[in-house]
Amino acid sequence: AQSVTQPDIHITVSEGASLELRCNYSYGATPYLFWYVQSPGQGLQLLLKYFSGDTLVQGIKGFEAEFKRSQSSFNLRKPSVHWSDAAEYFCAVVSTGGGNKLTFGTGTQLKVEL
Amino acid sequence: DGGITQSPKYLFRKEGQNVTLSCEQNLNHDAMYWYRQDPGQGLRLIYYSQIVNDFQKGDIAEGYSVSREKKESFPLTVTSAQKNPTAFYLCASSIGAGGLEQYFGPGTRLTVT
C-alpha cells in the first residue's frame, strides 16, 4: 500500500525567508501527488498537484513543488514566506487502482515569525 | 457559488448517542468522501461513494455508517459503537469516480462527552 511521510512535524521560518516542506512517498508506479493547506479549524485547500510531465509544478499563493522520482520526493517550496502562510500543510498521494483513494501524510505545521 | 457545505460547524453529544453529520455539494461531483482528522495523524478515510446508492468502507469504517441516496448528499452517522468519536470530520468530493482531485468542505468538530 502507498504511504506518505512528512518528516517535519513543525517548522518555523521568518517572514520573507524561503521555505521547503519535505514529502516522501512510497508507491511502486507513477504516483499522483498533491499538496493541501489547512488553516486552523478549516477544511483543506488544494495548493498544487502533479500527475505527469514537467516535474516542477506551480501552484496557488506562490508555491511550487518538484517531483523527484529517484528520491521518491515531492517537496513544497516558496521563495519568500508571508505571515499569512502560517498553517498546516499536507502531502497526499493517490493510486490509480482500488478506488483511487487519497493517502495523506501526517502534516507539517508552519509557523511564521514576524 | 459552488462548493461543499458541512453542518453544523460544532456538534456536541453525550456518549451512547448516535449523531449524523451533514455533507452537501452543488459541484455536480460523482464521488464523495468522509475523513476523520486527529491531531498528529493526518486525515484517515472513513467511507467513500463513487456513485449514488453505492459506497465503500475506507480505512477506519468501524463505528460509522453512511448513505448516498442523492448525488449531492452524503451524510455520515457516528454510532455509539465508535469508541473515540471526538474528532474533526471532513467531507470531500471529486468530479469523477477517479477521485484524483478532491475538494473539501469546512469540517465539523464533534465532541462526545
> Spelled out in words, what is the top-level CATH class assigned to the domain A3-113?
mainly beta
**pLDDT for position A29:** 74
Cell of A36: 493541501
Q: State phi, psi for A83 to the nearest 5 degrees.
A: -55, -30
Handedness of CA A111, A13, A57, B42 (dihedral sign): negative
Band (B41; pLDDT cuts 50, 70, 90)? confident
Q: Is A2 on the interface with B (CB under 8 A)?
A: no
Residue B2 predicted with pLDDT over 80: no
Inspect the interface and report whether the beta carbons of A94 and B100 lie closer than 8 Å: yes
Give me the residue spans of the domains in chain A: 3-113
Collapsing DSSP states into helix, strand and coil, what is residue A60?
A: helix
Please count the residue pairs, one from chain A and one from chain B, whose beta carbons lie less than 8 angstroms apart. 57
pLDDT in tens, A67-111: 999 999 999 999 999 999 999 999 999 865 556 688 899 999 999
**pLDDT for position A87:** 97
Q: Is B43 on the interface with A (CB under 8 A)?
A: yes
pLDDT in tens, B74-100: 999 999 999 999 999 999 999 876 667
Enumerate the residues of chain A whose CB falls inside 8 A of the CB of residue B93. none
Q: Which residue of B has its CA nearest to A105?
A: B42
Inspect the interface and report whether the beta carbons of A41 and B109 lie closer than 8 Å: yes
CA distances for A43 relative to A96, B25, B111, angstroms: 24, 14, 18
Contact indicator for B1, B10 with CB cutoff of 8 Å: no
